[in-house]
Structure 1
Amino acid sequence: MKKGLSLFLAAFALTFTQCKNETYQTASTTDTAVAAPAQKEYKYETVPNDPLNARVYTLDNGLKVYLTDYEDAPRIQTFIAVRAGSKNDPADATGLAHYLEHMVFKGTSQLGTQDWAKEKAELDKIEALYEKHRQTTDPAQRKKIYHQIDSISGVAATYAVANEYDKILGAIGAKGTNAYTSVEQTVYTNDIPSNQLERWVELEAHRFGELVPRLFHTELEAVYEEKNRTLDNDGWKVMETLNAAMFPTHQYGTQTTIGTIEHLKNPSITEIKKYFDKYYVPNNMAVALSGDIDFDEAIRAIDAHFGKLKPSTAPTFTVAQEKPIAQPIVKEVSGPSAENVSIAYRFPGMSARDAQVLSMISAILYNGQAGLIDLNLNQQQKVLQAYGYDNQMKDYSVFRLGGSPRQGQTLDQVKDMLLAQVELVKQGKFDDDLIPAIINDNKISLMRAYERNSERADAFVTAFIYDIPWADYVQRPDQFAKITKQDVVEVANKYLGNNYVLVYKRNDKNATAEKVEKPSITPVPVNREAQSAYYSQFMAKEVSDLSPVFVDYKADIKEAKLKNNIPLLYTKNNENGLFQLYYILDMGTDNDQKLGMAVNYLRFLGTDKYSAEELKKEFYKLGTSFNVSAGGDQVYVTLSGLDENFEKALALFESVLQNPQPNQKALDDMVQGILKARNDAKLNKGVILNQALVSYAKYGPKNPFTNVLSEKELKAVKPQELVSLIKSIPTYEHRVLYYGPRETDALVATLNAGHIVPAKLKPVPAEKVYAELDIKQPTVYWVDYNMVQAELIFLTKADAFKKEMVPTIRLYNQYFGAGMSSIVFQELRESKALAYSAYSSYSTASKKDRSNYITSYIGTQSDKLPEAMAGMQELLTNMPLAEANFDIAKASLRNSISSERITKSSILFDYERAKRLGLDYDIRRDIYESANSLTFDQLQEFQKQFVSGKPQAILVIGSKDRLNFKELEKYGKVKQLSLQEIFGY
C-alpha cells in the first residue's frame, strides 16, 4: 500500500446481466439567441441490466474511464489503475514497480518544489551516484558513494516541500489516500468529496504526467523497513515459498512484489524513470470512479486534463509457460508464529472457463457456512482451523488450502483431512442443493458489495486489469449460475490431482531471520511552512461548499415496542432486499466468563430437529446467516440475509436459541481447541503487543484480556451449564435493532409472533468495571520475541471522556498524528527515515466515565530503536509548530465532515455509540461547528496540558539479542514481562 504493498486476493464478486450496446453523450440545447460553442460528444458503452448502470469511455489517447453514479453520500471513490505490477519488473531490478509507486507521491517539477532548477541539479547528481553505486562492488567505495548520496540529498531536500501532494488531498477532505502494487497492477486510491472532483482530476493528471523521484533515499529506507516487516511475517514467507515452487518459470514465483534484498540495496533511479515512461501511459491506464457523479461533468473534466497525456505502446508481456507439476513439491518454512500447513494447485488465468468453475469448487469446499471444509472439519472440530480460497490472476490462478492443527495433531494429519475434502469434490460427493445455494449466496454478496463505492469502483479495476470487456464482466454471474455438478467434477479431476505444492510452516522461536541493513541517513528538512507555486495556485481555486448532514436520531430512527415492552429501533432499507436483525444485551464476559464460552459452544450444537451441520445448511439455503458474540459488556445476537426468507430464518434462529442440544464431545473438542488457540496466540506478535501488553499496562495483571477460565475451570464446565446460559440470553432485558425493507407494522407483527421471550424479562446484572491504573511513573514493559524489527507503543492515560474536548481532540489528531501529512509521519518517516509505520492518536473513550488514552506507535529496525524512541518522545514533548499544517488540518476536518453521510444500519450503531458516551445527538455537529473557531494557540495549549510531559508506559516487543537496554532505561524502569504474566495463563 502506499507507501505500501498489498497482496491481491481475487475473491471476485460476480455480477449479472447480458450484452452491451453503445450510446452517445450529447450537449443539451437551450433557447438562446446566440449559439453556444459545440461541446465534444463522448462515445461510451453501457450494458443492459448492469447493476452499476456504468458508463465506460475510451479517450482519444486510449485512457479507459469507468463511471457509476451512487449517491449514498456526496463523495466519490477513485481508483487510478496501471497495468504494471511486479511481474513487469526487470529480472535484475525486482521491486521496481512497488518502489515507483512510492515515488509517484513525491510531486513533479512544479508540485513539491521551491526552486526546481536548483533542485533538479542536485537530483541529477543523486541519480548519477546511484548508478555508480549500483555498478561498484568494493564495500568501502560503495560506502563512500552512499555518503555522497546522503550529503547531496540533504542539499536537494532544502528545495523540496515534503508531502505536498498529501497536504492537498488532506485539505480538500480526501480519505484513504494510498496505493498498492501487486503482480499485475499498481492502483492509486482516494475517496474525495464530490465538489472536489475537478480539482482532484487536475491534480492527478498533473502528477501522472511527470515523475520526479525526490527524497529518494529516505523513501528507500522506508521500503527497507517494509521489507523487514515481511521478513518478520511468517505468513509472507509461506506465501513467497509457495509461489516460488508453484511458478518456477513465471514471474509470479521468480519475483516478489517488494523485491530481493540485493536489488533493494542497489536501486536505480534511471531504471525507475524508464519503467514510468514505458508503462505509465494513458492507453495502459484506467480511471475508475463511483459515487455522487454527474457523468457529463466528470468525463469532460477527465478528458480536459488526462486527455493531454501522450499515448505510447506499453511493452508486451510474454507469458512464461509452466510445465505441469508431476508430483507433490514439498517445502518447509520456520519461524516464531504457530505452525500450519498450506496446499496449492495451479489453474488457468481468470478469463478461462475452468477458472470460473474453480470459483465454484472453492465455494463448495469453503464458504464460511456450509462448505465441505466448513462442515466436515471446522464444524466438527477435527482441526483448529481450516480454509480454502482461489486467487485468480491474469496468466494463472492458484487454489490454496490451509489448516492449523489441534493439540497433538501433526501437520500431515491436517494435510490428509484437507485432501480428503478435495477427493469428495472430485467424486461429486456433496449435496445437490449446494451449488444453487452458492449461486444465491453470490447474489447476496454482490448486493452487499455494491452498497459500497469502494467495491463498485474495484469491479472496474478488476475488469480493466484482467482485460475483460465490461459487457463480459457483467455476464459473469449468468455464466457462473450455469455451472453444473458435472462441470465441477470434471474440472476438479482435471486440476486437483497429485500435482500440488505443500508448505509446512514449522514453529521455531529461534529461526534465523534475514534483514535489510540500516544505511547511514542524515535527516532531511521537510520545510513545513514552504509552498510551491503550484500548491498556492491550486488551493486558491474556489469550489462550491457542501453542507453537512448530521444524524437526527429521533427523525432517522423509528422506534416501536415489541411485546413485554422490548424496544425496537429500526431504519428502512430502500435499496435492496437484505435485512440485518440484532438482539443486544448490556451484559458480557466481564460478568460471566462462561458466557463467552457458551456463545462459542453454540456454533457446534444442533437443536431438537437439526444437527449442527444441518442447521448450517438450512441457513445457507435460505440465504441467511446467524451469529452470537459476547464482548466484555455486551452480547450481540445477529441474523442477516434475504428479507424474503425472514420468517423462515427467524423461526430457525429462535429454535437455535430455545433448543440447543448439549453435546459432550463437542464441548471436549472445543475446550481442547481453546487451549491450543491460546498457545498459538502467545506466538502472535500482534496479539502480544496490541492486546496483551496494552491491557496489562492499562489495568494491571488482572484485566479484561486475562479474564479467562483456567485450564482446570474449562475442563470442569458441563454441557448443560453452557446450554442454560444460551437459553437465558433472550430472558434478559434487551433491545432489538432492524435494518431492512419491511414496514413498521409488518415488522412488529412478525417479531411479536416469532421472537420467543418469557412473560417477564430479567434485568441484566450490574456491570463489572475494571479499575484503570494511574500511570504515575515512566515504565518500560518489554516482551522477548525473535524478530528483525522492534515495535513499540508509548501509552499515556489521559482525562476521562468529556464531550467538550472532542472537537479539539479531532483537530489535534488530524494535525499531529493521523495520515501522511501529519507531523509524526513527516518527521519520523519523511525526514528521518526511521519507520515504515508511525502514528499517534489521542483516542477518546468508548464509554462515559472511562479514560481517554494517547497511543503512539512506531515499528522500526532494532538498531534504529534508540533514534526512533527519541524522535517520538521529542514530538510528544515539544510538538512542532506549523501554521500551514494547522490550516490544512482544519480544512480537512470540515471538508471531511461536510461530505460524510451516516446511512443504512450505521445510523443505528452510531446511536448505540452515542448512548454509551451519554450523548443524544451526533457529536460531529460540535466538531464541525468548532473547527473554524479553534485557534493554533488553543491547540498548543491542549498539547501542553494533556500530552506533553505526561508519564508513559512504553510497551516494546523485540528480540533480546537485538534490543538496546541501556537506551530503554532512559525512558523509565525496564521490566521484562513473561507471556504467562500478560496472557494470564
Structure 2
Amino acid sequence: EVRSLMLGEIEKLKKGQFSDDLLPSAVNNMKLKYYQSLRKNDERADRFVDAFINDKKWDDVVHSLDRISKMTKNQIVDFANRFFTDGYVTVFKAQGNDTTIHKIEKPHITPIPTNNDKQSEFLKNVVNAQPEPIQPKFVDFKRDLTVGRTKKGLEYLYKKNTSDDIFSLTYHYPFGTESDNQYAVAADYLSYVGTDKLSNEKIQQQFFKLACSYNVSVDDDAINISLSGLNSNMPAAVRLLESVLTSAKADKESYDKYVGIVLKARADAKSEQRANFSALTLLGACGTYNPRLNVMSERQLRSADPQALLDKLKSLNRYRATVMYFGPSDMKTVDGIVSAAHSTPRKFLADPESKPYLHQTTNKTEVWVAPYDAKNIYMTMYHDEGKKWTPGKAAIELLFNEYFGGGMNAIVFQELREARGLAYSAGAKYTAPSAHPYNDTECFTTYIITQNDKMMDCVNEFNNLLNDTPSREAGFKLAQQSLMKSLATARTNYENVFWRWLDAKKKGIDYDIRQKIYQTLPKLTLNDVINFARENIANKPYRYLILGDEKDIDMNALQKLGPVRRLSTEDIFGY
C-alpha cells in the first residue's frame, strides 16, 4: 500500500499534476535550508569538500540557488519522465529467527595492559603544538538577550538575528505531562486535522508556501509551540499558526487513524531492544510514575473526545507564556504581530499543578530482570542516596564523568572494552537532576552492552572499578584538558541563548553556569576526583537493571548479588 502511494505521487509528478506555485514554494524552502546549513561549521566545510572532490567551480556552488530559481515546471516534468522509470527495486525487511547462526563457545580472554599513558611521536607533535588558544565566550544574560513584557503582559526574550533572514518564535509554557498527559496526545493529533476553514492538506501547503513550519512539543515540565522560517513571511505564518491552534477541528476518521498509529508504534517499541532498555531504566530509576508509563492507555485513547483534546491546546492562551523571538525584526514589530494574533484573557490562569517525575533512592542492592530474546544483554547499575544538587558541584561532577565514564579515554571504556574485550559499549555517568534541580536528587548509573555469557565478568569488573577507582594522572590531565577546550570552543548562538537563560532560571542562578565550571576546573586535582568516587559511588547499594534472555543468563550468580525481581514486558511498558 505504501509503495502504491509513493508510485502514485511520482506519476503525478511525471504528468505535471501539481500546482504552479509549488515550484517557487520549493525554491523558498531550499533557500531556508541553505540559510540553516550555513549556521553549521561542518556543513559549510562540507560544501568546500564536495566542490573540491567533484571538481565543481566555486562560483557555480555559490550561485546554485539562483539557477534553480529559474527552472520551469516543464523542466521538472521532463526530468521526472527521464529518470523515474520502472527500473526500481523494492526492499522489504523480514522479522524472525535466523536459523543459520552457529553458537561459538566462550573463549578465555587474557587482559592486556592498556597503553593510555604512552604517546607516539605523532601524538607528541600534536600535543606540543602551540596554536593560538581559543578564548571562551559564555552567555551574558544582560548583554546577549533582552528581557521584557509585551503589550499584553507576556514576558518576552528577544535577540536580533544579524546573519540571515531566518526567524524562530516560541511560546513557552512551564508545565507539561507532569501536569496532564493529555497535552502530549493533543499535540500529536494536531498534525492530523484541519480547521473549520482549511483542510489539513491546505494547512501544510500554506506553511510550505510560506517556507515556515511549526511544532508543538510537550516535555515533562514544558510545552513549547514553535514557529520558524523566512522572516519576510512571519506575519502570515503567525496568523496561520494561531488559526490552527484556536480553530482545530477534530473528526472521527482522523482520530481513529491517529489512535491506530499510536498503538502500532507502541507495539513496535516492544520488539525493539533499545526501547525495552529505556523503559526498564526509567522504571528502575523513577518507579511506576515515570514519563514512559504516564501516558494515556489504549482504553483512554479510544474513549477520549478528540475535540476536547484539541481544545486543551486552544485554552493554552489562558496561561501566561514566555514569548521567545530570534530574528531580523525589532521587538516592537514582533510585539505588534504577536499581540494582534495571540489572544489573551484579562486575567491569566495560574499554571496547573504538576506532579514531578522523581528519582528513587536505592536503600539495598537488588536485581531487576526484564525479558528480551537476544544474544546480548543491556545492563545498568543504578544508585541514588538522595543527595541534592547545588551549583558548586557542577565542575567536579563534570570532571569525574569525563575521567571515569564519559568517553573512549575514560576508565570504564578502557578497562571493560579495550583491556578485557567484555563490552560492545560501556560507560558511566553521575547525573544532576535537570527538570527539577532542587526537588529531585542526583543519581549514578553505569551502562554496558555485552554478550550473555560475559554478564558476571562485567558485573565483577564494574564493581572493582566502582569500589577502587584507578588513579591515573595522565588520564586525569587529558580529561581536564578536554573539558577546558570543549568549554572554550563551545558557542551558544541564535535562539539557543534563550534555552540557556531558561535553564539558569530553573537553577535559580543569573549567570551561565559553564563559566563557573571553566573557572573551577583548573583548581581541581586527581585527588578530588578519586575522593568524589569514594564518597559517591564506592561500596554503595545498587539496583541492577538487566534486559536479556533469562535462559542464557546466570541467574544463580545474580541471586548472590541480591533479591531478584522478574519483570514482564508489560510491566516496563505499562501495556
**TM-score, structure 2 length as denominator?**
0.93
Please tell me whether the aligned partners of residues 361 and 383 of structure 2 are also in contact (alpha carbons under 8 angstroms): no
- Cα distance in 2 for partners of 1:564, 1:515 equals 70
| Correspondence list, 1:567-716, <5 A | 567-690=155-278, 692-716=279-303
- Cα distance in 2 for partners of 1:977, 1:698 equals 14
Amino acid at match of 2:418: E
Please tell me whether the aligned partners of residues 791 and 857 of structure 1 are also in contact (alpha carbons under 8 angstroms): yes
Q: Between Structure 1 and Structure 2, whose CA radius of gyration is higher?
A: 1
Task: State which drifts further: 891-900 or 583-592.
Answer: 891-900
Which of the residues 319, 343, 354 maps onto 1:756? Answer: 343
Identity among equivalent pairs (%)? 35
Is 2:45 aligned against 1:485? Answer: no
| Correspondence list, 1:213-228, <5 A | none
Please tell me whether the aligned partners of residues 580 and 738 of structure 1 are also in contact (alpha carbons under 8 angstroms): yes
- Cα distance in 2 for partners of 1:418, 1:501 equals 13
Amino acid at match of 1:897: L
Please tell me whether the aligned partners of residues 358 and 441 of structure 2 are also in contact (alpha carbons under 8 angstroms): no
Which of the residues 362, 366, 369 maps onto 1:782? Answer: 369
| Correspondence list, 1:900-911, <5 A | 900-911=490-501
| Correspondence list, 1:964-983, <5 A | 964-983=554-573
**In structure 2, the residue corresponding to 1:556 is in which secondary structure?**
coil
Which of the residues 522, 526, 532 maps onto 1:942? Answer: 532
Deviation at 1:651, TM superposition (A): 1.0
Q: Which runs of 5+ in 2 are unaligned?
A: none
**Aligned equivalent of 2:513:** 923
Deviation at 1:583, TM superposition (A): 0.4
Deviation at 1:927, TM superposition (A): 1.0
Please tell me whether the aligned partners of residues 782 and 955 of structure 1 are also in contact (alpha carbons under 8 angstroms): yes
Deviation at 1:733, TM superposition (A): 1.5
**In structure 2, the residue corresponding to 1:758 is in which secondary structure?**
coil
Deviation at 1:636, TM superposition (A): 0.6
| Correspondence list, 1:320-331, <5 A | none
**Aligned equivalent of 2:469:** 879
| Correspondence list, 1:783-862, <5 A | 783-797=370-384, 799-846=387-434, 847-848=436-437, 849-862=439-452
- Cα distance in 1 for partners of 2:16, 2:109 equals 61
**Aligned equivalent of 1:743:** 330
**Aligned equivalent of 1:449:** 37
Amino acid at match of 1:757: T
Please tell me whether the aligned partners of residues 551 and 902 of structure 1 are also in contact (alpha carbons under 8 angstroms): yes
Distance 1:914 1:493, change over 3 A: same
Please tell me whether the aligned partners of residues 358 and 440 of structure 2 are also in contact (alpha carbons under 8 angstroms): no
1:541-582 Cα offsets, whole Å, 9 max, x none, are 545444433211122220121133210111111110100000
Deviation at 1:617, TM superposition (A): 0.5
**In structure 2, the residue corresponding to 1:825 is in which secondary structure?**
helix
Deviation at 1:532, TM superposition (A): 5.0
Which of the residues 705, 715, 721 maps onto 2:308? Answer: 721
Distance 1:495 1:546, change over 3 A: closer
Deviation at 1:631, TM superposition (A): 1.6
Is 2:320 aligned against 1:733? Answer: yes
Please tell me whether the aligned partners of residues 513 and 788 of structure 1 are also in contact (alpha carbons under 8 angstroms): no
- Cα distance in 1 for partners of 2:460, 2:152 equals 60
Distance 1:503 1:941, change over 3 A: same
Deviation at 1:428, TM superposition (A): 2.4
**In structure 1, the residue corresponding to 2:508 is in which secondary structure?**
coil
Relative contact order (alpha carbons < 8 A, sep ≥ 6): 1 or 2 greater?
A: 2
Distance 1:564 1:513, change over 3 A: farther
Amino acid at match of 1:618: Q
Task: State which drifts further: 791-800 or 910-919.
Answer: 791-800
Is 2:455 aligned against 1:868? Answer: no
Deviation at 1:814, TM superposition (A): 1.5
Task: State which drifts further: 803-812 or 837-846.
Answer: 837-846
Amino acid at match of 2:447: Y
- Cα distance in 2 for partners of 1:975, 1:743 equals 59
Distance 1:762 1:883, change over 3 A: same
- Cα distance in 1 for partners of 2:240, 2:368 equals 49
- Cα distance in 2 for partners of 1:742, 1:880 equals 55
**In structure 1, the residue corresponding to 2:497 is in which secondary structure?**
helix
**In structure 1, the residue corresponding to 2:572 is in which secondary structure?**
helix
**Aligned equivalent of 2:17:** 429
Distance 1:718 1:879, change over 3 A: same
- Cα distance in 1 for partners of 2:112, 2:52 equals 39
- Cα distance in 1 for partners of 2:549, 2:10 equals 41
- Cα distance in 2 for partners of 1:439, 1:895 equals 40
**In structure 2, the residue corresponding to 1:975 is in which secondary structure?**
strand
1:471-530 Cα offsets, whole Å, 9 max, x none, are 44444434443443333333333443433222222343x444748956554221114444
Is 2:139 aligned against 1:551? Answer: yes
Please tell me whether the aligned partners of residues 629 and 635 of structure 1 are also in contact (alpha carbons under 8 angstroms): yes
**Aligned equivalent of 2:92:** 504
Distance 1:958 1:421, change over 3 A: farther
| Correspondence list, 1:379-390, <5 A | none
User: What RMSD over aligned residues (CA atoms) do the two structures have, in Å?
Assistant: 2.3
Distance 1:756 1:873, change over 3 A: same
- Cα distance in 2 for partners of 1:707, 1:961 equals 31
**In structure 2, the residue corresponding to 1:751 is in which secondary structure?**
helix
Distance 1:958 1:424, change over 3 A: farther
Which of the residues 110, 117, 126 maps onto 1:522? Answer: 110
**In structure 1, the residue corresponding to 2:485 is in which secondary structure?**
helix
- Cα distance in 2 for partners of 1:923, 1:628 equals 28
**In structure 2, the residue corresponding to 1:792 is in which secondary structure?**
strand
**TM-score, structure 1 length as denominator?**
0.56
Which of the residues 502, 508, 511 maps onto 1:912? Answer: 502
| Correspondence list, 1:138-149, <5 A | none
Deviation at 1:597, TM superposition (A): 1.3
Distance 1:468 1:937, change over 3 A: same
Distance 1:650 1:855, change over 3 A: same
Please tell me whether the aligned partners of residues 13 and 77 of structure 2 are also in contact (alpha carbons under 8 angstroms): yes
**In structure 1, the residue corresponding to 2:368 is in which secondary structure?**
strand
- Cα distance in 2 for partners of 1:957, 1:723 equals 38
- Cα distance in 2 for partners of 1:427, 1:945 equals 71
- Cα distance in 2 for partners of 1:702, 1:539 equals 49
| Correspondence list, 1:85-124, <5 A | none
Amino acid at match of 1:878: D
Amino acid at match of 1:598: A
Distance 1:414 1:900, change over 3 A: closer
Please tell me whether the aligned partners of residues 513 and 787 of structure 1 are also in contact (alpha carbons under 8 angstroms): no
**In structure 1, the residue corresponding to 2:552 is in which secondary structure?**
coil
- Across the two proteins, how many residue pairs are aligned to each other? 571
Deviation at 1:622, TM superposition (A): 0.6
- Cα distance in 1 for partners of 2:207, 2:140 equals 35
Please tell me whether the aligned partners of residues 413 and 427 of structure 2 are also in contact (alpha carbons under 8 angstroms): yes
Please tell me whether the aligned partners of residues 581 and 737 of structure 1 are also in contact (alpha carbons under 8 angstroms): yes
- Cα distance in 2 for partners of 1:916, 1:435 equals 45
Please tell me whether the aligned partners of residues 564 and 760 of structure 1 are also in contact (alpha carbons under 8 angstroms): no
**In structure 2, the residue corresponding to 1:782 is in which secondary structure?**
strand
**In structure 2, the residue corresponding to 1:614 is in which secondary structure?**
helix
**In structure 1, the residue corresponding to 2:491 is in which secondary structure?**
coil
Distance 1:587 1:828, change over 3 A: same
**In structure 2, the residue corresponding to 1:418 is in which secondary structure?**
helix
Amino acid at match of 2:142: K
